[in-house]
A and B are shown apart, each in its own frame.
Chain A
Amino acid sequence: DVKVTQSSRYLVKRTGEKVFLECVQDMDHENMFWYRQDPGLGLRLIYFSYDVKMKEKGDIPEGYSVSREKKERFSLILESASTNQTSMYLCASSPGRGRVTDTQYFGPGTRLTVL
C-alpha cells in the first residue's frame, strides 16, 4: 500500500515563527502536492512538485515556500507564520509521468494553529 506520512498531526506556533511541515512518501512517486483545507472552501493547492528540485505554484502560494531535495520528501515552509495560516495542511503524492494511474494518495494531515 502507498504510504504518505506527515511529520505532525497537530502543531501550535506563534506569529512570526518559521514553520516546517514535512511529508514523506514511500512509493517512489514523482509528483507531490501540498494543499490546505478550510471549512467551506474545500482543498486548495499551495504548491506541487513533479520532480526533485522542481516546484510549481498552485492556487494560493503566497506566504509559503517548498523544498524537494529528495524524491520521497516534500517540505512546506511558512517563512513567517501568520494567524490566517491556521488551517489543516494535507500532503499528497501520485505516480507521475508515464505511469498508469493518476490517483493522488493523501497523508493524514497536519492541523496547524498559529497564535
Chain B
Amino acid sequence: AQTVTQSQPEMSVQEAETVTLSCTYDTSENNYYLFWYKQPPSRQMILVIRQEAYKQQNATENRFSVNFQKAAKSFSLKISDSQLGDTAMYFCAFMKHVPQGGSEKLVFGKGTKLTVNP
C-alpha cells in the first residue's frame, strides 16, 4: 500500500519570503501522479499543482513549484513570494496510474498547516 508522509505539522513564513513544504511517499509503482492540495481556513480544498511521475521536469504554477525526486521518493512544494492568502493547510497526495477502465484513489498525507505572517 502507498503511504504519504508530511513531516512538518506546522510552518510559518514571513510575507514575501520563500517556504518549502516537505513530502515523501512510499510506493512500488513506477507510473503515478503526485499532487499538492490547499485548504484555506473554512474554505474549499483546491488543487495547487500536480506532477506526473514519468515527467522529469518539475511542475510550476506561478509562485508554486515542486522539487520532484523520483529515486528519493520526495515531492516538496516551494512557495515563492509568500502572500497572506497562502495561509492554509497543505496536503500532499499520491495517485497511482490506473489503466483505462479503472478507478482512481488519492492517498493523502496528514497535512502541513502554513501560516504567512505580515
Contact = CB atoms under 8 A, between A and B. Distances in A.
Whether both chains belong to one complex is answered with: yes
Interface of A: 31, 33, 35, 40-45, 48, 50, 56, 58, 90, 92, 94, 96-98, 102-109
A42 B103 contact: no
Interface string B86-109: 000001000100001111111011
9 contacts: A40-B110, A42-B111, A43-B91, A45-B106, A94-B104, A97-B100, A97-B101, A103-B35, A106-B44
A56 B103 contact: yes
A42 B104 contact: no
Contacts of B108: 35, 42-44
B44 A102 contact: no
**At the interface, is chain B mostly helix, strand, loop or mixed?**
loop
Contacts, number: 54
Interface residues of B, number: 23
Interface of B: 9, 33, 35, 37, 43-47, 50, 91, 95, 100-106, 108-111
A42 B105 contact: no
Contacts of A106: 37, 44-46
Contacts of A96: 103-104
Given A45-B106, A90-B45, A107-B44, A102 B95 contact: yes
